[in-house]
Amino acid sequence: MSQLINFQGTNLFSNINTTGSVGVDANNYLQLRVPVNTFVTARRVAGTFDSAHFFLNISERYMLTLNIDVPENINAITVYFSLKADNTQYGYFKIPAGSFIKGRNEFLLGWKDFVFSTGATKANFTYMPIVSYQVRVDTNTLGAANVQFYSFDTMDSSQGKILIWTDDAWNDQYNVIYPKLRRYGYKFTLAIAPSRVGKADYCTWAQLKEMHGNGVVMVNHTYNHINLKTLSYQDQLKELNSCKLELENQGMGGSADIVAYANGGYNQDTQNIITNYFAMGRTVIEGLQSKTGDKTQLKIINLLPGVSLDKAKKLVYDCHNYGGLLIFLLHRIDNTEPSSIYWSYDKFVGLINYLHEIRAQVVTAEHLRQYF
């Protein structure tokens, strides 16, 4: 990890609004004081930093670090980067309400989270220097807030990647997994069998759409959660296409060509279908994923009752320090681990905290398109 922006220093930013204030805290870090139900924007322009060496092509991933006193009062925090002095060509990262905690916050951001202004492209930001940037804090009707900005860092792309994958859309994934990962800015991958959506113990479409709107990647888990190897070639294709079509109809079809085999079942027909009509297929075969592996047989580490937190952390440590791709599969969360598809809440929280502690790069299944 290397620092792209250091928000420490006096008289570096100007308040471009008439509300609130822009200044520094006791340690000279940028501080925005934002009154209730309004916003404050602090801008830094060329001449106060070395724009000749400021590009956004250094990393696929970035980390924004800041401090918040009253997180429930914040509606959004946005970081803007402009390629022109008049701010007509720009892009931004926006972190929504519900993502914040009291005290120090660290958010992992990537190009998929970056919103471009009309006419701007990733290529523009790759080859043109940033001439100004600004941060904006929006409050809600609950009250005022103070935010201190510390740094905006690039993440070393040579580090190993960790992918958190959940199957079946159990309601634990919305109630437990989603909020914990969102707290640290992590996105995850969720495999949906549409026939189960809305049934007892499963997520509703509204919950799935909320998660999708906040960066959770929704993938294909067959329409009826059926073991594909029990079906004919044509029936397998129908199952997968039906799921893909439903996800598209629900506005979540961008990753529906990525398949997680229901019950881990597949055969040569399945692999041929994936090769010809889909992007990749994920198994329940245990192991680390390599770039030379078969895209129709992605491997995972299944987080089941017998997997200790220490074992999971050791796998993360090795991947993080020595490279590669580690896919963790989760189904349900409960401290009693009542059946084989559960992993304990304490283990889960311990693992996510460890990912955050070592600054692991957590990616989604969309990253796999670039990986192979």
CATH number of the domain at 224, please.
3.20.20.370
Number of domains in the chain: 2
pLDDT in tens, 42-88: 998 755 554 445 677 655 668 898 999 999 999 999 999 998 877 78
Same domain for 75 and 126: yes
Task: Select from 77, 14, 66 the least CA-distant residue to 42.
Answer: 14
- DSSP letters, 27-71, are TSBEEEEE-TT-EEEEEEETTSS-GGG--S-S-SEEEEEEEES-G
Give the residue numbers spanning the domain of 110: 2-154
With beta carbons less than 8 A apart as the criterion, state whether 298 and 289 touch.
yes
Residue at token pair 């991933």: 61
**Tell me, what's the pLDDT at 349?**
97
Residues whose CB falls within 8 Å of the CB of residue 257, separated by 6 or more in sequence, listed in order: 220, 244, 277, 278, 279
pLDDT < 70 positions in the chain: 1-2, 46-54, 57-61, 155-158, 292-293
Same domain for 135 and 60: yes
Last residue within a domain, chosen from 125, 154, 183: 154
Q: From residue 133, how far is each of 25, 54, 86, 127 by CA, in Å?
A: 20, 11, 11, 16
3-state secondary structure of 352: helix
**Tell me, what's the pLDDT at 50?**
47
**Tell me, what's the pLDDT at 109?**
82
Integer Cα distance of 372 and 370 in angstroms: 6
**Tell me, what's the pLDDT at 52?**
42
Same domain for 258 and 364: yes
